[in-house]
């Protein structure tokens, strides 16, 4: 699995492990190309937005016969938070075989494995706008039941994922504020996109919606709106922690 977000890695690895698959993980495209020089895999789960080398660039490099990887025709599945047809078409155009739109569940993983890998039970896989917080209150802060269903009723795994998400969010939120202080809307949008993806998988619904709003506001350089949204997401995070870890 090629994925730079620890929480997303843990969610997908948890699903794969339940099906009895082994998976290796790397954090970016450059690391993926390095490991593919020495290992051949049946399938690669490829995130799109990553540092150093994104998913499109990495896929093109893998498909290039001049790139020194062992296997150029490995099945590559895009992991994308964008469900637009244009995004799906872009994945296919660069050489990917299929895509999963976040959030997805264990059945989605199983279905896509069965679709592309024969005798998959024996295979080893590589997982290489004026807004206020009240405006997002229609979304529950945390949908534990939906996360539990996604992780096949594994309570301990859900708790571990929540703890990992909390730690990761705190680190990314610091970077988010730093990017805002520097008025770096490009970096701000990338961080918001990353938070949105993890929040979506962990069912942190309010955080996901506000992160999406920040991402969109960053594209439009709406500074006054961004300032309010950053305050909102900090409040939503505090509410999420109380809901997800009441003890």
Tens-digit pLDDT profile for residues 20-77: 788 899 999 999 999 999 998 999 999 998 888 999 999 999 999 999 999 999 999 9
Residues forming beta bridges with residue 47, ordered by sequence position: 79
Q: Are residues 137 and 237 in the same domain?
A: yes
The last residue of one of the domains, among 100, 122, 144, is 122
Residue 208 within any structural domain of the chain: yes
Q: Are residues 116 and 144 in the same domain?
A: no
Q: Are residues 14 and 62 in the same domain?
A: yes
Separation CA 14–CA 157 (nearest Å): 8
- The token pair at 36 is 């593919």
Residue 1 within any structural domain of the chain: no
Q: Are residues 32 and 79 in the same domain?
A: yes
Q: Are residues 118 and 205 in the same domain?
A: no
Q: Are residues 32 and 111 in the same domain?
A: yes
Separation CA 101–CA 238 (nearest Å): 27
Q: Are residues 43 and 92 in the same domain?
A: yes
Q: How many domains does the chain have?
A: 2
Residue 233 within any structural domain of the chain: yes
Residue 36 within any structural domain of the chain: yes
> pLDDT digit string (tens) for 163-219?
999 999 999 999 999 999 999 999 999 999 999 989 988 999 999 999 999 999 999
> pLDDT digit string (tens) for 90-130?
899 999 999 998 888 888 998 999 898 865 444 444 544 43
**Pairing state between β 98-101 and 43-47:** unpaired
The last residue of one of the domains, among 122, 153, 170, is 122
Q: Are residues 157 and 238 in the same domain?
A: yes
Rounded mean pLDDT of 151-171? Answer: 91
Separation CA 8–CA 199 (nearest Å): 9
Q: Are residues 54 and 142 in the same domain?
A: no
Residue 127 within any structural domain of the chain: no
pLDDT at 245: 84
Q: Are residues 137 and 38 in the same domain?
A: no
Find the domain containing 76 and state its range: 6-122
| HSE-up of residue 177 (Cα within 13 Å, Cβ side) | 10
Surface-to-core class of residue 122, CB atoms within 10 Å of its CB (0-12 exposed, 13-18 middle, 19+ buried): exposed
How confident is residue 247, by pLDDT bands cut at 50, 70 and 90? low
Q: Domain of 156: which CATH number?
A: 1.20.120.160
Q: Domain of 112: which CATH number?
A: 3.40.50.2300
Q: Are residues 12 and 111 in the same domain?
A: yes
Q: Are residues 56 and 153 in the same domain?
A: no
The last residue of one of the domains, among 99, 122, 145, is 122
Residue 118 within any structural domain of the chain: yes
Residue 112 within any structural domain of the chain: yes
């Amino acid at each position: 699995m090629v994925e730079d977000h620890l929480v997303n890695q843990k969610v997908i690895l948890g699903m794969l492990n339940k099906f009895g698959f082994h998976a290796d993980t790397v954090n970016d495209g450059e690391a993926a190309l390095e490991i593919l020089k020495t290992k051949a895999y049946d399938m690669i789960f490829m995130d799109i937005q990553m540092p150093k080398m994104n998913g499109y660039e990495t896929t093109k490099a893998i498909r290039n016969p001049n790139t020194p990887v062992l296997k150029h025709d490995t099945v590559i599945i895009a992991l994308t938070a964008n469900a637009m047809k244009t995004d799906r078409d872009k994945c296919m155009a660069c050489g990917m075989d299929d895509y999963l739109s976040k959030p997805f569940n264990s059945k989605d993983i199983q279905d896509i494995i069965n679709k592309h890998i024969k005798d998959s039970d024996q295979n080893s896989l590589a997982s290489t706008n004026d807004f206020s917080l009240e405006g997002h209150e229609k979304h529950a802060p945390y949908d534990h039941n939906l996360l539990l269903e996604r992780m096949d009723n594994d309570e301990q795994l859900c708790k571990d994922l929540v703890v990992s998400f909390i730690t990761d969010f705190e680190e990314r939120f610091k970077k988010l504020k730093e990017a805002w202080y520097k008025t770096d809307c490009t970096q701000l949008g990338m961080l918001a996109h990353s938070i949105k993806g993890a929040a979506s998988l962990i069912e942190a619904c309010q955080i996901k919606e506000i992160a999406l709003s920040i991402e969109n506001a960053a594209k439009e350089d709406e500074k006054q709106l961004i300032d309010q949204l950053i305050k909102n997401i900090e409040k939503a995070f505090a509410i999420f922690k109380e809901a997800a870890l009441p003890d």
